[in-house]
Amino acid sequence: MAKVLVFYGSYRRDRLGIRLADFIVARLRARGEAPELIDARAVALPMLDRMYKEYPKGEAPPAMEELAGKIRGADAFVFVTGEYNWGVQPGLKNLTDHFLEEWFWRPAAIASYSRGRLSGARSNSAWHPTLAEMGMVVISSTLTVGPIAETLDETAEPTGKAGESLSKAFERFADDLSWWTEAAAAQKKLRAPPY
């Protein structure tokens, strides 16, 4: 059973993307994984001033210390992101940038959404090099969901044809993430990461 952290970063009052985050958590759990939702708004890290590694040992803010431990203990990550003016979601980016070495040598997957038909695809593309630069192996399968309100209802259940498409796409997405998660775990047993 893999520990998978599912990160969600919207700070908006009327958040629709939480539906996608909840959908992913529920579906991963149904596959026998151990997912945990990390909501950037709930964690409430300040705007980046000091990264976790820049604090003397034991002096990082409690929320940051706790999250660093969760990241280090995870087997894989999923980043659920909206698109803001063709770019990445600022709340999620801020949370992610507080850490670096904690991310290394684990697979990451990206799921994007928007209110419109482009499904956050530009944000999805922008996250790929960012996560790779931070030491993660980004899987090739992605989820792009839009319009989100026509794909998932208020309880994060798929609706209509768009919901059917998401359910079908999720299986490949999850299979891809699972394969890379198992590959990373097997490689770590053979040889420790080089740094």
Q: Is residue 195 part of a domain?
A: no
Q: Tell me if residue 88 falls in helix, strand or coil.
A: coil
Domain of residue 37: give its range.
Answer: 3-190
**pTM, two decimal places:** 0.96
Mean pLDDT of the chain: 96
Spatial CA neighbour of 99 closest among 75, 131, 138, 59: 131
Contact 82, 113 (CB under 8 A): yes
State residue 38's pLDDT score: 98
Domain of residue 66, CATH code: 3.40.50.360
Rounded Cα gap, residues 152 and 149, in angstroms: 6
* pLDDT tens by residue, 110-167: 999 998 888 889 999 999 999 999 999 999 999 999 999 999 999 999 999 999 999 9
Q: What share of the chain is helix, strand, coil (3-state, %, to 5)?
A: 45, 20, 35
Rounded Cα gap, residues 4 and 166, in angstroms: 20
Separation of first and last alpha carbons in the chain: 26
Tokens of 26: 């529920």
* CA-based torsion, 111, 117, 123, 128: positive or negative: positive
* CA-based torsion, 43, 47, 53, 56: positive or negative: negative
State residue 116's pLDDT score: 81
State residue 172's pLDDT score: 97
If one counts the domains in the chain, the total is 1
Q: Is residue 12 part of a domain?
A: yes
Rounded Cα gap, residues 142 and 112, in angstroms: 8
For every one of its 195 residues, what pLDDT tens digit does the chain have, with 9 covering 90 and above? 999 999 999 999 999 999 999 999 999 999 999 999 999 999 999 999 999 999 999 999 999 999 999 999 999 999 999 988 888 999 999 999 999 999 999 999 999 999 888 888 999 999 999 999 999 999 999 999 999 999 999 999 999 999 999 999 999 999 999 999 999 999 999 999 988
Q: Is residue 166 part of a domain?
A: yes
Rounded Cα gap, residues 109 and 98, in angstroms: 19
Rounded Cα gap, residues 23 and 115, in angstroms: 17
